[in-house]
Structure 1
Amino acid sequence: MLIGMVFGNGYGSQAGAWRMPGVDPTGFTNFDTLVRYAQLAERGKFQFLFMPDFPALRADIATDAQQLNIEPMMTLAAVARGTERIGLVATGSSTFSEPFNLARQFKALDLMSHGRAGWNAVPTSDPMVAANFGRALPPRFEKYERLHEFVQIVQGLWGSWEQGAWLHDQVSGRFADPAKIKPVNLRGRHLATSGPLPLPPSEQGQPVIFQAGGGDQGLEVAGRYASGVTGAVFTMEDARAQRMALRDAAERAGRDPDEIKFFAGLMTTIAPNRRAALDRRIAMSGFSFEPRVGYLGQMLGLALDSAQLGEPLTKAQLAAARPSRQDLRSTYALKVASEGWSLRDVLAHGVIDYHPMVVGPVVEAADHMQTWFEAGAADGFWLCPDVYEDGLPPLVDDLVPILQERGLFHRDYQGATLRDHLGVPAQYGRDPRLQ
């Protein structure tokens, strides 16, 4: 299996991670701390770091740290200089960017990291982000139409220097061969470029495309261009269905379905036992569970309020509970509630998170990953440790060895580039099968 890790705000995936003992409270802006966590993930032989992006202020800034990093490309540039093997995947929006700028940034990161860069190509869907750019969100079909043009132009720019164009021959004095540097001259309905990009190929040729694959239009984009897809799936059945849909989309586009790797998210709070893990999760969550009680009630078809937070559901409530057919998490939420946990503990199990949550011993994470992987539900996982400072070391020092002993995870990097790590084929410029 393949393993990536969400690389967010310098603290961890939980809003209260910044308050936990031993955590650097200035980690949000401390690049030394971020590089140290990246080096730890690299010691665990993770295939890549995955950096989301949300260029707007969100969450309760009075008490919660921002969940995303200060700026993906600047951060990964620092990480590239402090690591040697691990892949570096950043999100870049096609809605409020220009292809030439983005192509230049990601190609520079790819050169700086010696072929370890990946671009998570997504449109923007949040009005807060649009407002920061002084624009309204375009209609969904237009966003994806632009995304198709954007990806093709970026890949055209990446391939505008042929592989042998850069000579750097000091003896002959020839720096480059102009005959092997070609304009792009692509024009679509929304975007255009003349090119070429003033950068040569990297060790892997060009960055790897990632995508989120959401909805029919996202599925088509992923099937045509992506080599990695980071999914938000809560059940194994949903994960298997999404993975198969992606493989089918790749095949329809004329690609080998093995070229696209599906990664399921997994959140972790590791402790010696369930009770200790729940207490850890509760300690870093503060008062954030109180407003979630009403949402839990909606999932179960019950009228709940925060006054019952410290109590389990009554027998009458359990008998009346009806899991929502529209929310795949609700069946699991009722199962946990039926075990007699208080509502606070039920929420601490992660029943309303967007990914499955392992709250307990590290072997439970290994079992979850093995079950999903062997069921064909994922090619790998992107891990979301609750706190990097003391939640990541158990994944590197305990989880990875278990997976290695079970023959599920590699013992060392076999190559130097992100394409090597993912086992995806070489590509330079646009995919000729999609012309």
Structure 2
Amino acid sequence: MAWYRNLSLLHRSAAFLALALATATAHAADRPGEADAKKLVAMVRGTLAGAPTIGAAVVIGAANDRLYLVTANHIVRREGEIATDLKVELRTLPGERLTAEVLPHHDRELDLAVLIVREVNQRGVPVQAFPFDRLGNSGSLNRGAGVFSIGQAGAAPWWTNVDADVVADRSGTYVYFQSPLLRPGQSGGGLFDANWLLVALVLGEERSGIKALLIEEVISFLLRNSYPVELMAAPPRQNTQLNCPTKRESFDAFPPRLFDDGGGGHYGYDRLAFNMTLAWPGAWQKRCLDCRVKSSAARVSANVWDNGKAASWGLYILDMSEERGEMYSIELEQGNRVSVKHYRDGHDPVILWAGTYHHTQEKKTHLTIEAKEGILIASVNDAELGRAAYDSSLIPDVGLGAGFIVAAGTQVPASVWFDDYEFTACFP
């Protein structure tokens, strides 16, 4: 299988690889949760079948002056041979390469192997510094969910993606995710969810995506072989007292009035709702209802319906200025499709999560998007359908906006109506 040869994705130019790695790693501060996640992942190097082998491993526990790690079996075994001159490097002990051994227990089918580092006290390994309480739940890995992998892609230690990769599929004990930039060296590393909790072990490339083994199956293998697993569920977050007032807007109180949008269409109050109509194919408009609001968390919802011609329509949140187009949105499309998107600097939006929703007999669809602590939560008709990650540390300390967004396709005029709008903003 292709993934037994580490991650061998399509060849790209050396310049593009260097640019990608520089963007991801150069002097960038770790995001909340990322620093602890990296402490659980070790870098692995050695010799296998006369050639260098490179990858990563996840620290699972310590006992009797020994440190135990789990990795992808193909990194340390090949055609009956076992890796030699094996070294691991820990985030908690930078610059030190520790001698490791390959233990007998392994599972060729699951592609699992176990490593051991002995005499860790003598070598100065700060065992108490490992954040073992970063164990996540693979139940969160629905199609479209955002994930982060940590390894040493392209020999860059503790490489991880800047924007979340996307889960493509789940099958049995495996999850498959899409990543355009993963390189050899990422096998054996950890796969983390949007909260930087460990949810799987990265194995390598297959046709349907990058393959990872769910963490529950990894732990089951380790416990069956009596290894000291110290990984545990993350503690519940402490509730912070916030003031979260909600503004409600019912547009039936406004007299009918429409305004020219400058492109042949219009917006304004119509049919006891707020209407946006686009007259040109491919046109795009957004209307801010709550602008320049400084908030640590926000939630926006509304009922929406269209005339069957819009390409996409929905709500946006965390608009970083009225002039600049960086923001996040939840949008519906024809065919009962729904997605969470990230708009940035005038470029086409990046889809962070996508799925489908059940269209009821009601004409209106109730949309909600919530942003808090780096997580976007998308709901349709009051049912949570998906989540995506955003880097809350990059949100500037400026007033943020929320409102309505509509895009026209080839059919015009494309009309969308909004009513029962609610906006909640939280303040310390």
- TM-score scaled to structure 1, two decimals? 0.25
Larger helix share, 1 or 2: 1
Larger strand share, 1 or 2: 2
- TM-score scaled to structure 2, two decimals? 0.25
Larger relative contact order, structure 1 or 2 (CA cutoff 8 Å, min sep 6): 1
